[in-house]
Structure 1
């Protein structure tokens, strides 16, 4: 099974959400904003990881570069694209943002 991860990067911590191919939540977590934490979460999955999605912005630059150098396939998403996906969600939280980012591609 292929999975997709969405990361909502913030200052102190990030929300991550893993979705399977049909779009069901496999795992959600709040992790520290460190490259090692992103790699550990993404590398410990029992399924084949397809893509990691990040919303384009100043906070996403360093994890995007670090995860790409670690060998992950990434998609940097346009903020307008993410906003359109998140508009359909009735409750906005960082956890839901990560889910929306994962579902956005």
Structure 2
């Protein structure tokens, strides 16, 4: 739940209450004052960019405020409760006593999520490759130095001479190969995004810099 406080320009309280920490409930609560609220303040948190974007789309003027600066201001208040913090943030907006932080656009958030997902995806794929190497090495089936494009073929060659290990290694190799295909697809899609971005295009003019790092 998110505590909310609406105040007049003179500091008098208009409304205090709570709403679910989701866009629709927050917009619904604030809608009666949509044309009167000069500024909405929201403290930076994991949900702030999501809520920020929704409130902007609903035509609210909103700032995302820097957490440490806000905490210093709020710590000076007598009662440390969510309700008191909401009133304190309302006062910060009224007085202009805040430091805003950049809130990413929805497109930037989606791109960041995709890049994080790709990183986790690649990490898991590499972990499977390391597992295959380790399990085979125990039985003196050494892959040696091999490029990723030749990894599967090298494993298959070794398994051809040691078919008893296919039950253990086969499913891992199949999962790894499927992940490699999905990684290639994800890389192509991200490369297309990078080539449409002005900053990325400029960076790619540097020798050795590609669409993905």
Q: Which residue of 1 aligns with 2:28?
A: 40
Cα RMSD (Å): 1.5
State the TM-score, normalized to the length of structure 2: 0.41
Q: Which residue of 2 aligns with 1:98?
A: 86
Report the number of matched residues.
93
Report the more deviating stretch, 40-49 or 81-90: 40-49
Unaligned runs of 5+ in 1: 1-12
Residue 87 of structure 1: CA displacement? 1.7
* Distance in 2 (alpha carbons) for counterparts of 1:85 and 1:25: 19
Q: Which residue of 2 aligns with 1:66?
A: 54
Unaligned runs of 5+ in 2: 94-213
Report which of the two structures shows the higher radius of gyration computed on alpha carbons.
2
Q: Which residue of 2 aligns with 1:9?
A: none
State the TM-score, normalized to the length of structure 1: 0.81
Matches for 1:1-16 after TM superposition, within 5 Å: 13-16=1-4
Question: Which aligned segments of 4 or more residues in structure 1 are displaced greater than 3 angstroms?
Answer: none
* Distance in 2 (alpha carbons) for counterparts of 1:79 and 1:22: 25
* Distance in 1 (alpha carbons) for counterparts of 2:80 and 2:90: 15
Q: Which residue of 1 aligns with 2:15?
A: 27
Larger helix fraction of residues: 2
Greater relative CO, 1 or 2 (CA 8 Å, sep 6+): 1
